[in-house]
Amino acid sequence: MKYYITTPIFYPNASPHIGTAYTTVAADAFARYHRLKGHDVYFLTGTDENAQKIVRTTQEKGMDPKDYVDEVVEAFKALWEQLDITHDDFIRTTEERHHVVVKDIFNKLYEKGDIYKSEYEGWYCTPCETFWAENKLEDGKCPNQDCHRDVELLKEESYFFKMSKYQDQLLQYIKDNPDFIQPVSRRNEMIKFIEGGLEDLCVSRTTFQWGIQVPFDPKHVVYVWLDALINYISALGYPDGELYKRYWPADIHLMGKDIVRFHAVIWPIVLMALDIPLPKLVYGHGWYLSKEGGKISKSRGNVQDSFELIRRYGSDAIRYFLLREMQVGTDGAYSEDSLVERLNSDLANDLGNFVSRSLAMIVKYRDGIIPVATQLTAIEEEIQALGQEVILKIEECLEAHDPAGALEHLWRLVSRMNKYVDETAPWQLAKDESQGERLNTVLHTFGEAIRILGILCSPFMPKTTKKIFAQLGVGEEALNWEEAKKWDVLGEGIKVQRGEPLFPRVDLSQFEVEEDKAEEKASAKKKSAEKASSDSEASLAPIKEEITIDDFAKIDLRVAKVLQAEKVPKTDKLLKLEIEVGGKTRTIVSGIAQHYAPEDLIGKQVVIVANLKPAKLRGILSEGMILAASHGETLEVLTLDKEISTGAQVT
C-alpha cells in the first residue's frame, strides 16, 4: 500500500514558528505510523518562494529575493532536522524542476481554452496573496479572519482561469465524496463557498517580475496560488516521472484551516481541467492560539522561538505537546506554562516514572535480566486486553488523522501500568521467597509493557522510543507495529539497564533566571556604553517624536494608593504592589526593587497607567504601570504631595 502525504509549502518570509511546526510534526507522525505498518510512504514538504510578499520583505531589507529566501529556507530545514521530521523531499518553488512543470501546465490549460487574457480590477491583499471581490470585504479590509489588513485596488492586464466552468462539477464531486474534505466543518464551509458562486481566477501578474514567467508572454508571471499548488505533482515529476506514477493521487493534503479554500476549490478544479485524479483527502486542522487568544503567526508578532523551545525542553516534548493539545476540528491553545505542565505531568511523572522505576526493580531484583512469566493472574490478563484495545483505538485515531485522540488512548495504558506497579508492589513480593514466581511475572509484565509503549510512542516521540529500547536492551528490529499487538515477545536473557530519566522535571523559573541574567548583562553593557559616550545631560534619552492630543488621550493616568508591597521571589529587580484605584484593588509588578524597599511605598499615593494591557511577569498578572523618572543610576517614583481621591484622573 502506498501513502503520499503533503504539508503546504510554507512562505519563507520569516523563520518558522510553532504554528508551522504543528502541521509538519503531525504529517511526520502520520508518515511514521504508515511506515511502521509497512506501507510505501512518500512525505513532501517545502517552501513557497514566488510570492509578492517575498518581494516586499526583501525590498524593505534591501536584499536580493533569492539570497533572502535561501537564508530563511535553511532555517526551515534546520528546524525540521531538530524536530526529527522524516520528509522524503523538500520542494522549493524556485527550483527548475518546478518551473518546468508549472509552464507545461499553464500551456496545457491555455491550449484547452481554460485560460484567457483580460483586464483585472479588484482588491488585493498582499499578506494573503489573494484577490477579493468588493462585496467580500469587511469594513473595506481583507475578510480573512486572521488578517483584516488594508487591501489595494489593482488594475492590470492578466490571464484568467475559467474556475466558473467547473463549479457544478466540483460541487457534485464534494457531495458524492463526503470524505474528500475533512473535518466536516471545513467541508460545510467549502460547499457554502462554492454555492455562493465561483469567479474566474486571475492567474498572472505584471506588476512585479519575481516568479515564473508565463511561457508565451514573459511580461506576465504566474500567480502564486496557481504556481504553489502545482508543487504536489511537480515534486513527483509530472507527467511522466516514476514517482508521479507510483504515488499520485495524494492520500492527504494536510494544512491549516485558513488555506483549505485554495486546496479544496482551486486545486481540484485545476486537476479536473487537466483530467488528473483528485487527491483523496484535503484536511484542514485548527490553529494554535496564544494564551491571549489570537492565532500564533508571524503577522501578529506573537510567534515562539522554536529553536529555543527545543533547547529548553527537547524535541520530543515539543512534538508531544503540539500533537496532544490540538483536538480534531478545534483550535489548540499554546503557552509555555502549559507546555511545562504537560512535560512534567504526562512525560516525567507518568511515562518517564513508570519506565524508570520498572527497570530499576528488574535491575534490583533480577540483576537486570527480564524473567519469564509463569503466574499470570486476572490483572495481567486485563492489562493484555487493554493493550490490544489501546492499539486498535490508536489505529482508528491515526487513520482519522487525530493524533490527540491517539495519544489520549496511549496514556490509558501508561496510567494503567503505573497503577499496576502500585497494585502488585514488587518491593513486598521481593521480601517473600515463596513469591518468587509471582515477582517474575510482574517484572516480565513491566518489560513487555515498556516494549509496547516504546513502539506506540514512535510516531509521536521518536527519540523517546530509541531511549526506551536502549534501556530495555532491544534493537531497532523490535520497532514493528504488528509486534506491539503481541505479548511475550521478549525472550529469555534480555538484560535491561537504567539510563538517564526520559524526561527530567522542569522548573520554568530556571529559564526565567537565565533570562534575568541575560537582561542584566545586556543592561550592564548598555550602561557602560552610555557612560563612555556622555558625562551627564548628554546621556539623557532623546525626546521622542511628537504626538497629537488624540494620541495622549488614549493613555489613562490615575491616582492610586499603595496598600501592600513585597519583593518578587528569585529576582532582585521586581516588587509586587497591591494598589487601590477608585475603591478597587489590583496588582502591579514594577522593576523598582533596587531603588525602594517595600515598606518605603506602603501608604504612598502614586500615578499609574490604568489602561495598560495586563501582562504576566514571573507568573504574576501585572495590571498597570507605575510612573517613575530615571536618569543614570537614579530612579524616583512619582508621588503626590497632597492627598487626593484614588481613581482621580491625571490630565
With vertex at residue 526, the alpha carbon angle to CA 524 and CA 532, rounded to the nearest 5 degrees, is 105
CA angle 39, 40, 45 (to 5 degrees): 115
Give me the pLDDT at residue 633, please: 61
3-state SS assignment for residue 595: coil
pLDDT tens figures, 173-203: 999 999 999 999 999 999 999 999 999 999 9
- Predicted confidence at residue 164, as pLDDT, reads 95
pLDDT interval class at 294 (50, 70, 90): low
Task: Pick the most confident of 157-161, 382-386, 496-500, 581-585.
Answer: 382-386
Contact 460, 323 (CB under 8 A): yes
Which has the minimum average pLDDT: 130-144, 209-223, 309-323? 130-144
pLDDT, residue 105, reads 97
CA dihedral 629, 631, 633, 635 (to 10 degrees): -10
Rounded to whole angstroms, the Cα distance separating 184 from 178 reads 8
426: number of Cβ within 10 Å: 20
Asked if pLDDT for residue 511 goes beyond 80, the answer is no
- Cell of residue 441, nine digits: 511475572
* Confidence band for 302, pLDDT divided at 50, 70 and 90: very low
Q: At residue 618, does pLDDT exceed 80?
A: no
Mean pLDDT, range 36-41, rounded to an integer: 97
- Encode pLDDT of 517-537 as tens digits: 555 555 555 555 555 444 444
From residue 251, alpha-carbon distances to 41, 169, 264, 297 in Å are: 10, 21, 14, 27
Which has the higher per-residue pLDDT, 636 or 213? 213
The β-bridge relationship of strands 89-92 and 288-289 is unpaired
pLDDT confidence bin for 620, thresholds 50/70/90: confident
Hey, what amino acid is at 577? L
CATH of the domain spanning 338-485: 1.10.730.10
Give the residues across from 575 on adjacent strands: 567, 590
Summarize pLDDT for 381-423 with one digit per residue, the tens: 999 999 999 999 999 999 999 999 999 999 999 999 999 999 9
Residue 538's pLDDT is what?
40
At 296 the pLDDT is: 52
21 in Cβ contact with 306 (< 8 Å): yes
pLDDT of 51 reads 77
How big is the CA angle at 422 (ends 419 and 425), to the nearest 5 degrees?
145
Express each pLDDT in 323-358 by its tens digit: 999 888 788 888 888 999 999 999 999 999 999 999
What pLDDT is stored for residue 528 in this prediction?
55
The percentage of the chain sitting over the pLDDT mark of 70, rounded to a whole number, equals 88
Phi then psi for residue 165, to 5 deg, are -60, -30
User: What are the start and end residues of each CATH 1.10.730.10 domain in the chain?
Assistant: 338-485
CB 306 within 8 A of CB 18: yes
Mean pLDDT, rounded, of the chain? 87
Q: Where in the sequence of the chain do the CATH 2.40.50.140 domains occur?
A: 545-651
Q: What's the pLDDT band for 248 if we cut at 50, 70, 90? A: very high
Whether 607 contacts 557, CB under 8 Å: yes
What span, in angstroms and rounded, lies between the C-alpha atoms of 360 and 69?
50
Quote the CA–CA distance of 342 and 82 in Å, as a whole number.
20
Distance between CA atoms of 82 and 420, rounded to whole angstroms? 35
Judged against a pLDDT cut of 90, whether residue 300 lies above it is answered with no
Distance CA 450, CA 448 (A): 5
- Whole-number pLDDT of residue 625: 87
pTM of the predicted protein model: 0.75
What Rg do the C-alpha atoms of the chain give, in angstroms? Answer: 30
Fold observed for domain 545-651? OB fold (Dihydrolipoamide Acetyltransferase, E2P) (2.40.50)
Q: What pLDDT is attached to residue 534? A: 45
- Quote the percentage of the chain above a pLDDT of 90: 57
Cβ neighbour number for residue 559 with a 10 Å cutoff: 21
Cβ-contact 284, 255 below 8 angstroms: yes
Task: Kindly list the distances between the CA atom of residue 101 and the CA atoms of 165, 226, 232, in Å, as whole numbers in the listed order.
Answer: 23, 12, 11
Q: What band does 292 get if pLDDT is binned at 50, 70 and 90?
A: low
